[in-house]
Amino acid sequence: MALPALLFGGSTAVTNLETLAEQAADFAGAAIAENTRLAYRKAFRTFTTWCGETGFGPMPAAPMTVGLYLTHLATAGRTVSTMEQALAALAFVHRQAGEGFDTKHPAIANTFAGIKRTIGTAKMGKTPLVADDVRAMLAIVPSSTLAGLRDRALVLLGFASALRRSELMGLDVGRIGTGTGYIELTSQGILVHLVRSKTDQEGQGQLVGVARGRHKATCPVLAVQAWMQASTASAGAPLFRSVNRHGRAGALRLSDRAAVDMLKRVAAAAGIDPDRVAGHSLRSGHATTAAQAGAAEDTIQRQLRHKKADTTRSYIRRATVFDGSSSAALGL
């Protein structure tokens, strides 16, 4: 960013103002979560690639171009949620560039409404990993290896806490780390301190409690303690770290992708279709299992930290679909 020295009183003033401009850009970039920014970047790159192949201009994108792109996505079998993300990405990029982007323009709104009426808006969610699934997976994961201890701790803490995948993998041991949050071991269980999350973009902080389990083999607190002790975790280190082929814990944080690969691999070994499993399956499985066990909807909502009850209901719909079903009164 070049700024005229005469206007701002010399090179020192210019340097300071350029530094402020860079910091302002950093703050603007932090307005959305890192995962959201990465998703938008991917969605916009896909759009610009399509524009390059078809001869349309990506910036600023004409409403007709966007409508045709949505049609392209629909005919290619993409889901409505993918199209919604594409629109959100285009709107964000245009705002950042100071360009207008009107999603209510008929060429966009009418096309998208027609697509949704034609292909539907139902989402094919991943399979919730319920308590029985978790037990089956733990039966596969050994407690005799360091990697096994880590994976057991990851599965149990992920299931019991109902954290989002990025939150779980971003946890540190102690508050001096640089992750999304940290854990604190208490007499009641594990207290998860989240510095920033999807529903707390301004970093006000959130607390999530994980109670001690009734059974030693499935207690998330004992599993985390066993992993921390075996891996000699130090204050500030990532909670879940890589384990090398020699069975030693490294310093690097275990990646989201590695965690999902582990879940799929263990699920497959336990007889669960790996293609229907994702990092979100532990979180949705918590909600499903809790609902089946009779936990109140508002209790589940607090644990998942949903702002809207409708979001929680979408998680537990499968578990509660037979509650009050009139089919039970037919005498069949």
What's the pLDDT tens digit per position in 157-177?
A: 999 998 988 889 889 987 776
Q: How confident is the model at residue 226 (pLDDT cuts 50, 70, 90)?
A: very high
Pairing of strands 171-173, 249-253: unpaired
Checking if the pLDDT of 27 tops 60, the result is no
The span from the CA of 165 to the CA of 197, in Å, is 11
Q: Which of 90, 91, 89, 70 is nearest to 80 (CA)?
A: 70
What's the pLDDT tens digit per position in 38-96?
A: 888 888 888 888 888 888 888 888 889 888 888 888 887 788 888 888 889 888 888 88
Q: What is the pTM assigned to this prediction?
A: 0.64
Alpha-carbon distance values, 93 to 46, 60, 68 (Å)? 13, 10, 19
The span from the CA of 169 to the CA of 240, in Å, is 7
Q: How confident is the model at residue 4 (pLDDT cuts 50, 70, 90)?
A: very low
At CA 99, angle to CA 111 and CA 54, rounded to 5? 50
Query: Helix axis angle, 34-54 relative to 80-96, nearest 10°?
Result: 90
Phi, psi of 77, deg, nearest 5: 85, 15
* Cα dihedral 70→72→77→78 (10° resolution): -40
Could you tell me the two tokens for 187? Answer: 């007499």
Q: Domains in the chain, start-ordered, CATH in brackets?
A: 31-119 (1.10.150.130), 131-320 (1.10.443.10)
Stretch 261-284: mean pLDDT: 88
The span from the CA of 190 to the CA of 120, in Å, is 42
